[in-house]
Structure 1
Amino acid sequence: MNRLIKAALGLCLVGLAMQSSIAQEVSETNQKKFGEFRDRSGNFYRAASGKPGEGYWQNAADYVIEATLDDEAHTLTGTISISYTNNSPEALDFVWILLEQNRFTESSRGTLTTPIQGNRYNGDTDGGYELTNIFAKVGKKGATSSEHIISDTRMQVWFAEPLSARGGTATVSMDFTYKIPTDGMDRMGKLKVEDGYIYAMAQWYPKVAVFDDVEGWNIEPYLGAGEFYLEYGDFDYKITVPYDHIVVGSGELMNPKEVLSAEVYNRYQKAMNSDETVYLVGPDEIKNTELTRPKQDGTVTWHFKIQNTRDVAFSSSDAFIWDAAKINLPSGKTILAQSVYPKESDGQEAWTRSTEYSKASIEHYSEMWYEFPYATATNVAADIGGMEYPGLNFCSYRSKGAGLWGVTDHEFGHNWFPMIVGTNERRYAWMDEGFNTFINHYSSNAFNNGEYPSTLNQTRRYLNWFTNERREGIDTYPDVSNLSNLGMIAYNKPAMGLLMLREYILGHERFDHAFKSYINTWAFKHPTPDDFFNIMENVAGENLSWFWQGWFYGTGNIDLGISTVAPYAGNYVVVLQNEGEIPMPVLLEITFDDGSMESQMVPVEIWQRGNVWNHMIKTDKRVTKVVIDPDKILPDVNLGNDSWPTKIYED
């Protein structure tokens, strides 16, 4: 084919494409893709910049708890005093308390909404709280009220007089007891091992619900997939257990000399200064209480404190191996990584590396995003797939190798989302699980020179889900989503969204400034999705409405394509098509006949008027290949149209 014919063919192809583009330039559908789908104006409480507004407030709750674990009756009994501060602009007549152990009854909403065949969130049904001595008092000298209403996993406690706005304080106290479930919805419970029981204690005390400027009282019942939303405060708690138990908990152990033998205390001090893992109680010392315990009968009380946190959890057992090492934080501060696990989990291929994993995970996130704020980072082996609490995880005692790294790193990542950045997990699971899955990607790739590399960037592995008619949107309420979709809509799809922002749309520098600003701005506060969207746009300097709308709100897909490449006026024209529902900038990798390559980014605005665009490649070289998204960051659902053949014209 001679050059004249080739040029004429090129002009013809480009002309047809241009006509198609002109015909679609008034597309109403495309206008909607770029339209404002949310109110970005901000208000007195939450600014349009994505930061807390001039009038932003949040309430606080401080806890003093004393509890006793009975390892024969398998019960927990305690007393709790909650000091509640009302920083809101309105007086409160009552306070809502969350009673999550009431999920474990035959008549609970969670039990009655669990499918007959069961699911991950099965739970025992013979438990629930027994509460006594319930009192609420406003201020130090106010009248005391015992009026309350228990409704499933919530309790409304009334004050004798209104709790004043903007700093009014009240105290709510009660005694509680309950049977510790064996099957605690894959979040807590007890496990029988050869040497005793492991008690994984979470949702173990009555706690205050959040009252905020968005919903007022957040009182969704505890059903299953929906997790938690809690106020921040200081915790001072004591756990009394049989003398031969070891207890680990959120925060700092305040009385190590009282609960540890002299030998274990010396090892404890050594671990605090060691980058290598140190045994506090070795595999052959589990039952050697004369060596490892300060007394040989009765009970021992372990005392913990933690400040500015939204929750606490603990674990107790007479079957623990216990090891620890030092964590080095960017500020120069050092804290403790520790792991407890039974001999069934021992071994270099398994939990013997848990503290190594924990240390690496906390150090990475502290360096890359925000410094870890608590005194300890504890990994507990239990009969739980993986569940996070401030400074403490429960991970499966069966996990090994890459699986143990993955679950350990994921649960520790949750200390950033939602423990530091206090989102509403029960309503917006994606701001918790998705953001964490995103930061896990970089942590996994960094650990030990990529010993356990992440596959999040292999987005096209998930194309079967993206084209499945039963898929749901990220914004689906977690308690009603199809459990077969939950892993994608809460974890992977939002994580891929952030990955696309960092690796494809914004680039590392702009994304990192914006994401770190989000974390720093909302640390120990309660952001909403709009706060996140606004701060990312304002700091990165990009209107991303088209992206939030397309990726986070809906089930549309990405399908960018090349319909043709043709010579035109001494250069080349690439005819691009958007055959999907979500617009995207188009990254082109262009290969020339001399072997050289060039990248060009075509901005997303090309799709504002239509779904066809002619892009000019200005060159005096012959183009031999054009590829969209050469690193395959985008989960583009059509694999067949994102490249132009290496050679299309004959010489």
Structure 2
Amino acid sequence: MSEYVTKGDSNYMSRLPQRRLAGAVLGLLSLCSGAFAATQPSAQGFDPRETFAPFAMPQSVNSYRSGSGRPGPEYWQNRADYQLHAWLDPVHHVLTGDEVISYTNHSPDDLGSLWIKLEQNIYRRDARSTVASPWPRNDFTDGFRLAKVEVELADGSRQAVPYVVNDTRMRVDLPQPVAAHGGAVKLHLQYSYDIPGTWGGRTAHTPTRAGVIEEIAQWYPRMEVYDDLRGWDTLPYLGTGEFYLEYGDFDYQVTLPSDMIVAGSGELVNPGDVLTATEQSRLAQARSSDKTVYIIRPDEVGKAATRPRQGGELTWHFKMKHTRDVVFAASRAFVWDAARINLPEHKQALAMSVYPAEAVGKDRWDRSTEYLKGAVEIFSKQWFPYPWPVAINLAGHGAGMEYPGMVFDGYTDAGKELFMITTHEIGHTWFPMIVGSNERRNGWMDEGFNTFIDIYAHDAFHHGEFAPKRDGEYAPGGGNPVEEIQSVLKDPMAPYIVDRADMDVGKYRHPLSYYKPALGLVLLREQILGRDRFDPAFRAYIRAWAYKHPSPSDFFRFMESAGGEDLSWFWRGWYEHNWNLDFAVTGVSYVQGKPEQGALVTLASLDKLVLPTSLRVDYVDGSRREVAVPVEAWLGGARISVPLAGGKAIRQVTVDPDQKIPDADRANNSFVLH
């Protein structure tokens, strides 16, 4: 008989475990009667026939999506490129836009109509979200005001086209279908809208001492996604489920009063037109500096010397390639600083922060660029290199919102909270800005995956200056998420992880979109696969689906194939259902009544979910050992017998001694003999 002893001892997420459980207990399984002898299903509901039954993936395998979880040989994806020009009126808070969408249809279908997102319509009084969403709002608008919707014809002329607006979507009917397999069309739109106040924080105008900060997001009509799963995916925008967007290149300009500073997604391509020689010189210095360099100092805010021209307007010109969205912010109040980001393979990017002077102070926005730089470097080294030339942190209203190349945070944030929100929001670069999952349907593949990678970034930054990070720490009653998640697992009304994102509202939003899926990935990495199998598989998943649209089934299949494990039982219990786990040590007996002959430990599974775990055996002489209990131990029933090698008298046996798995009742986790 052999025992597999685990190494290391730590608290979940506080000090992430170093041990590998991949080997399980193959030696014990070779015993003639089975090392883990099992009996009948428990009265409380555990039934191995249900738990370990084959798992039916939500999406089927075909030539577009393979059984390995990778894009199939005929995978296709449409493309949307944008040319945008915005005119910003900061007095009346009005944005006027001129837009050209170049849409390419790679699908096998001719498209006679196009669907477009009109997300500013969420601020209308008659929007579906007014009743369906929990977000409070005070500032209603009339949404997008469309002046022109035209299609460009083959000769370059334009033709007005009929369209139908329904809530936050618009259908445009074309004079000629866009041909399958590479057909293209150009739409020209002119529009305007009133920038709302602080509702939701995703687009707002925020007052500060030196001027208003205009936070501009969802500021142009955007293409809906046409994919192989549903055709047009046109779920309305209700506020909780966020975005699902096509990739392309963006070329955009912002015209506004000359005394305002603009920070935007992508790269500023006309610095000579909008920055002074001093500011250009400081930016060049920042590109080669690991320490933060001021572009505009706090004592320079609002001074004429910071602007290349007095009076009139300036046009800021930005470009961003291979992205799904762009945003910008503008203000007279900005302090601006920057530093170099060091990326793998000796590549570089630039971290920048813009914030009002009242955000300056010890461990406040003076350190924002340091935090941003550190987080991007950690994520790039661990998972996938940051793909764009600039990353920006904006201090504004403070909803904590992510966009490609730029994140919106709160100017009152400070200390650990500022590091946490900066790291979390820029972490969304990887999920869903690079791995373009459907946030509106599967918010857990966005928030949950990002919350997962946050945990390790907190450990890595400055040798754990702000560690540990516990999911839920910043929510009411924050603490150990392994315990906190029990409130969800025990709630019969709680939605499931794989439910539609807009269902995760109120008390369920963070537990179901953030904490439970993040804990699921930690369990996969630390308890089920081990880091040596999980990390290569997760990195390969990111590479395979970078700038593409994976479904939940693609993720499930990929981790099984690349991780080398059938995880049907885990997908079913943790993701498809809201099953709970309750392990109990119900007895310990010596073989023939003699410690030297060995012992049998009886374990029971009292609820539907099972996970790999361990037993800690404490001996009377003060020594201890741990024995791994693989999930396969429960294939035969709700009670198992774990054999222990003989030799010493046992004082106590404990299942899950380090509380690494979410056990519903820890009072029955130990059995004391002496």
User: TM-score when scaled to structure 2?
Assistant: 0.90
Change (3 A) 1:80 1:141: closer
Tell me which of 256, 259, 265 is aligned to 1:244. Answer: 259
| 1:542 paired residue number | 565
| 2:56 paired residue number | 38
Equivalent residue runs for 1:130-145 within 5 Å: 130-137=145-152, 144-145=159-160
| 2:463 paired residue number | 449
**Match of 2:501, SS?**
coil
Distance in 2 of aligned mates of 1:178 and 1:142: 27
2:109 maps to amino acid = E
Matched, 1:610 2:625: no
Distance in 1 of aligned mates of 2:176 and 2:72: 30
**Match of 1:385, SS?**
strand
**Match of 2:527, SS?**
helix
Matched, 1:228 2:243: yes
C-alpha displacement at 1:137, in angstroms?
3.6
CA contact (8 A) 1:120 1:186 kept: no
| 1:403 paired residue number | 417
CA contact (8 A) 1:25 1:609 kept: no
Distance in 1 of aligned mates of 2:581 and 2:139: 43
Tell me which of 330, 348, 373 is aligned to 1:316. Answer: 330
| 1:325 paired residue number | 339
CA contact (8 A) 1:145 1:160 kept: no
Change (3 A) 1:121 1:61: farther
| 2:662 paired residue number | 635
| 2:587 paired residue number | 564
Distance in 2 of aligned mates of 1:393 and 1:204: 15
C-alpha displacement at 1:603, in angstroms?
1.6
CA contact (8 A) 2:121 2:127 kept: yes
**Match of 1:46, SS?**
coil
Equivalent residue runs for 1:427-466 within 5 Å: 427-453=441-467, 454-456=469-471, 458-466=481-489
Tell me which of 58, 61, 69 is aligned to 2:88. Answer: 69
Change (3 A) 1:621 1:195: same
Matched, 1:573 2:590: no
C-alpha displacement at 1:49, in angstroms?
0.4
Distance in 1 of aligned mates of 2:286 and 2:554: 41
CA displacement, residues 496-517 of structure 1 (integer Å, 9 cap, x when unaligned): 0000111111110101011111
Distance in 1 of aligned mates of 2:216 and 2:408: 9
Distance in 2 of aligned mates of 1:563 and 1:25: 13
Tell me which of 189, 212, 217 is aligned to 1:202. Answer: 217
Tell me which of 471, 483, 503 is aligned to 2:494. Answer: 471
2:649 maps to amino acid = R
C-alpha displacement at 1:88, in angstroms?
0.2
Distance in 1 of aligned mates of 2:249 and 2:657: 50
Change (3 A) 1:127 1:193: farther
| 2:575 paired residue number | 552
CA displacement, residues 177-215 of structure 1 (integer Å, 9 cap, x when unaligned): 111111342212110111111011100001100000001
Matched, 1:102 2:121: yes
**Match of 2:74, SS?**
coil
CA-based RMSD of the aligned residues comes to 2.0
The count of aligned residue pairs is 625
CA contact (8 A) 2:37 2:636 kept: no
Distance in 1 of aligned mates of 2:46 and 2:586: 23
CA contact (8 A) 2:485 2:515 kept: no
C-alpha displacement at 1:122, in angstroms?
2.8
Matched, 1:211 2:226: yes
Distance in 1 of aligned mates of 2:671 and 2:208: 60
CA contact (8 A) 1:235 1:306 kept: yes
Change (3 A) 1:142 1:568: farther
Distance in 2 of aligned mates of 1:141 and 1:357: 48
1:44 maps to amino acid = S
C-alpha displacement at 1:22, in angstroms?
3.4
Distance in 1 of aligned mates of 2:642 and 2:200: 54
Residue segments in structure 1 that go unaligned for 5+ positions in a row: 1-17
Tell me which of 458, 475, 481 is aligned to 2:504. Answer: 481
User: TM-score when scaled to structure 1?
Assistant: 0.93
Distance in 2 of aligned mates of 1:346 and 1:537: 48
Tell me which of 77, 81, 84 is aligned to 1:58. Answer: 77
Matched, 1:597 2:594: no
Matched, 1:303 2:330: no
Equivalent residue runs for 1:367-386 within 5 Å: 367-386=381-400
Distance in 2 of aligned mates of 1:596 and 1:401: 43
| 2:612 paired residue number | 585
C-alpha displacement at 1:33, in angstroms?
1.0
Matched, 1:521 2:544: yes
CA contact (8 A) 2:38 2:634 kept: no
Distance in 2 of aligned mates of 1:529 and 1:556: 19
**Match of 1:383, SS?**
strand
Change (3 A) 1:400 1:76: same
CA contact (8 A) 2:66 2:72 kept: yes
| 1:426 paired residue number | 440
Specify which structure has the bigger relative contact order, considering alpha-carbon pairs within 8 angstroms and separated by 6 or more residues: 2
Distance in 1 of aligned mates of 2:226 and 2:121: 21
Distance in 1 of aligned mates of 2:111 and 2:125: 33
CA contact (8 A) 2:36 2:643 kept: no
CA contact (8 A) 2:600 2:642 kept: yes
**Match of 1:227, SS?**
coil
| 2:527 paired residue number | 504
CA contact (8 A) 1:137 1:160 kept: no
| 1:186 paired residue number | 201
Matched, 1:255 2:270: yes
Task: State which drifts further: 171-180 or 479-488.
Answer: 479-488
Change (3 A) 1:573 1:419: same
Distance in 1 of aligned mates of 2:40 and 2:179: 63
Task: State which drifts further: 471-480 or 567-576.
Answer: 471-480
CA contact (8 A) 2:439 2:446 kept: yes
| 2:68 paired residue number | 49
CA displacement, residues 315-373 of structure 1 (integer Å, 9 cap, x when unaligned): 00000111111100012111110101112211122111110100000000000000000
2:661 maps to amino acid = L
Change (3 A) 1:19 1:265: closer
CA contact (8 A) 1:105 1:124 kept: no
| 2:359 paired residue number | 345
CA displacement, residues 400-433 of structure 1 (integer Å, 9 cap, x when unaligned): 1111111100000000000000000000000000
Distance in 2 of aligned mates of 1:23 and 1:635: 23
CA contact (8 A) 1:104 1:123 kept: no
1:157 maps to amino acid = V
Distance in 2 of aligned mates of 1:19 and 1:415: 45
Distance in 2 of aligned mates of 1:597 and 1:259: 68
C-alpha displacement at 1:41, in angstroms?
5.9
1:71 maps to amino acid = P
